[in-house]
């Protein structure tokens, strides 16, 4: 009886393992292991999830990394964890709250004063809050639009002069394939007209990820021939703290297990495309492209350059910024 069970279970486990390995192979990984000694990277949301794993990979390659974090205690804990395995590179924690435009400005002033070079800016931090909570930023913006888009929009523009001075340099924008579910409604950027229960996707999050994609397109156009390359990417569905605000019950894990087997990546696996865009020699000069699974990604939803241009102009007004790009 026992042997019969073994003969049934073993092939099933073997098949499951092979399927998982095949999926992981499809996700790709960053093949560049070149030394980043002397290079300065700035990573937002660097104390957990994909951001933390990105930082880990950068210091392993001997980079100097500015860890822009909202919670400095968590930043220090992340550094302790990374230093248990990686002794090279340099880790510099700095406070940044993307939900406050005042905090963004203060942070950028400190960075511009203390760092004569910034070679790569990685806009990784992301917020995911149930829409029914109606969360706002300190400046009154819908939390997803305010943090995921406007905070990074202001941060990038304020640091752009230093990135140009450091050229060749890069700006990496972490978006999501969920941008295909998003919509930019210029009459409702704060989501006040959007139903809090509007389908299985969080509309605020999806809209902000679409804003990220559109931002990358317009930014690439405005930085053309400046020596600054812009890349947007989808890291894939990764196991991070992004959805920590959602209530998950025990039976959800059972129902979710087949999806997890096929689609759920570790944070380290999710960081691979970020590292690819930030460090790989083969993407140098290819500004304005979108990536997924460490390769060029063509979204199903067409990204309208006119909407991207208008979103830029509206965002300038909302953050009180006038640029001369």
Is 281 in contact with 275 (CB distance < 8 Å)? no
186 or 247, which is more confident? 186
Domains delineated in the chain: 20-317 (3.40.50.720)
Provide the 8-state DSSP code for 265. Answer: B
Paired with 289 in beta bridges are 231
Upper half-sphere CA count for residue 272 (Cβ side, 13 Å): 20
| Three-class SS state of 230 | strand
| Three-class SS state of 51 | helix
pLDDT of res. 252: 44
Is 296 in contact with 290 (CB distance < 8 Å)? yes
Provide the 8-state DSSP code for 197. Answer: S
Among the listed residues 122, 58, 130, the one whose alpha carbon sits nearest the alpha carbon of residue 96: 122
Percent of the chain with pLDDT over 90: 69
pLDDT of res. 24: 54
| Three-class SS state of 28 | coil
Q: Which of 7, 25, 128, 205 is catalytic?
A: 205
Is 311 in contact with 215 (CB distance < 8 Å)? yes
Check: pTM over 0.95? Answer yes or no.
no
* Sign for the pseudo-dihedral over CA of 128, 132, 138, 143: positive
Contacts for 17 with CB less than 8 Å, ≥ 6 apart: none
Instruction: Render pLDDT for 9-48 as a digit per residue (tens, 0 to 9).
Output: 556 555 555 554 545 555 577 888 899 999 999 999 999 9
pLDDT of res. 28: 74
Contacts for 54 with CB less than 8 Å, ≥ 6 apart: 43, 46, 122, 124, 271, 274, 275, 278
Instruction: Render pLDDT for 178-226 as a digit per residue (tens, 0 to 9).
Output: 999 999 999 999 888 776 655 567 899 999 999 999 999 999 999 999 9
Alpha carbons 42 and 187: distance in angstroms, whole number: 33
Mean pLDDT of 239-251: 52
Among the listed residues 157, 170, 175, 178, the one whose alpha carbon sits nearest the alpha carbon of residue 318: 157
Q: How far is CA 95 from CA 9, 81, 98, 139, 248, in A?
A: 51, 19, 10, 18, 30
205 belongs to the catalytic site: yes
């Amino acid at each position: 009886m026992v042997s019969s069970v073994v003969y049934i279970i073993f092939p099933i486990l073997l098949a499951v393992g092979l399927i998982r390995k095949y999926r992981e192979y499809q996700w790709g990984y960053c093949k560049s292991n070149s030394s980043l000694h002397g290079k300065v990277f700035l990573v937002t949301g660097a104390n957990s999830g994909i951001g933390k794993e990105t930082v880990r990979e950068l210091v392993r390659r001997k980079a100097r990394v500015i860890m822009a974090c909202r919670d400095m205690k968590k930043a220090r804990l992340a550094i302790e964890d990374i230093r248990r395995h990686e002794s090279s590179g340099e880790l510099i924690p700095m406070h940044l709250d993307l939900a406050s435009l005042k905090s963004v400005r203060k942070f950028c002033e400190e960075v511009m004063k203390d760092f004569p070079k910034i070679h790569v800016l990685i806009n990784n931090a992301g917020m995911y809050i149930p829409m029914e909570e109606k969360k706002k930023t300190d400046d009154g913006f819908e939390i997803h639009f305010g943090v995921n888009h406007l905070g990074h929009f202001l941060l990038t523009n304020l640091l752009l002069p230093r990135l140009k001075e450091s050229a060749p340099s890069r700006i990496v924008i972490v978006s999501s394939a969920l941008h295909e579910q998003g919509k930019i409604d210029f009459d409702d950027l704060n989501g006040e007209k959007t139903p809090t229960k509007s389908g299985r996707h969080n509309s605020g999050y999806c809209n902000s990820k679409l804003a990220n994609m559109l931002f990358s397109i317009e930014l690439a156009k405005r930085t053309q021939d400046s020596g600054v390359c812009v890349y947007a990417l989808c890291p894939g569905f990764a196991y991070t703290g992004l959805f920590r605000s959602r209530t998950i019950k025990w039976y959800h894990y059972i129902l979710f297990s087949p999806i997890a087997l096929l689609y759920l990546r570790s944070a380290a696996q999710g960081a691979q495309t970020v590292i690819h865009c930030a460090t790989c020699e083969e993407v140098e000069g290819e500004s304005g492209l979108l990536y997924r699974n460490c390769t060029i990604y063509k979204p199903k939803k067409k990204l309208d350059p006119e909407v991207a241009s208008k979103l830029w102009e509206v965002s300038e007004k909302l953050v009180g910024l006038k640029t001369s790009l």
